[in-house]
Structure 1
């Protein structure tokens, strides 16, 4: 059974540590090592995590298995009736243990708390990421796709998935 805690700015280093353990292994078969390094800095430098939380409206939640950290999720409002599931990552030891579905449901619960009227939750997922099946099982559907330039000549080749909540 997992528990959830809302992250604070004091948790930025913990989020970065988790990302270093999860992100490279998640994308090693999809992206080049150079792009992974670039994206780690782009998304997970301490300054960028702080900026996401303090200025860009990202709300992070941390999942625990008893006292052990297991993963994290972040949600960001994007417009009047749209929320973006920015990140959902689980340590390899907890993959397959339903931590991802726990975090996904908790993200929906949070969105419903802050936005009780119907809205759309979207997320980007790499078109070759095995997590695509997970999102479909959770009730999301492909809305569109795109190749999004992220700098340094790199692109995110994603499906944008969504679900009404």
Structure 2
């Protein structure tokens, strides 16, 4: 049984640790080791996570049998669009395929609706296997973007949206 809890500042180091455990197997086939390390340091250091929280990103923890197995980072009314942005949605590899990703998306949709939003939006790497998962859960590709993240690295993403 999966439980979903809102994270607090005290949980930020746990989120960073989970990211370091999840990212290498998730992105190892599509990003260089150097880019993975660069992005983990850029996005999942404690100061970065604190800054994200301060800027309005709400973190959710996915907990299975009292063990945190994943997390999400969301922002309601993202850029005043009436849409909730899913900035992050990651689960430990051994828990994938259990329906937890869908449960997280459903939970996020409830939060979005409670905040008056009409859709969920997210970016996914064009080569990430999760792209097919998102399509199966009702997302549609609405665009593409390349984001220069520095150090010579580029995020090559699809932009997906799901009405709720």
TM-score bracket for this pair, using the shorter chain length = over 0.9
SS of the counterpart of 1:79?
A: helix
2:126–2:156 CA contact under 8 A, matched in 1: yes
- Following TM superposition, the consecutive aligned residue runs of length 4 or more in structure 1 with deviations greater than 3 angstroms are none
Distance in 2 between the 1:120 and 1:128 partners? 24
Q: Map 1:1-165 onto structure 2 (within 5 A).
A: 1-54=1-54, 56-77=55-76, 78-80=78-80, 81-115=82-116, 118-165=117-164
Distance in 2 between the 1:120 and 1:114 partners? 11
Q: TM-score, normalising length from structure 2?
A: 0.95
CA RMSD of aligned residues (A): 1.0
Distance in 2 between the 1:92 and 1:79 partners? 32
Distance in 2 between the 1:157 and 1:34 partners? 16
Stretches of structure 1 lacking an aligned partner (at least 5 in a row): none
The number of residue pairs the alignment matches comes to 162
Stretches of structure 2 lacking an aligned partner (at least 5 in a row): none
2:83–2:112 CA contact under 8 A, matched in 1: no
1:70–1:99 CA contact under 8 A, matched in 2: no
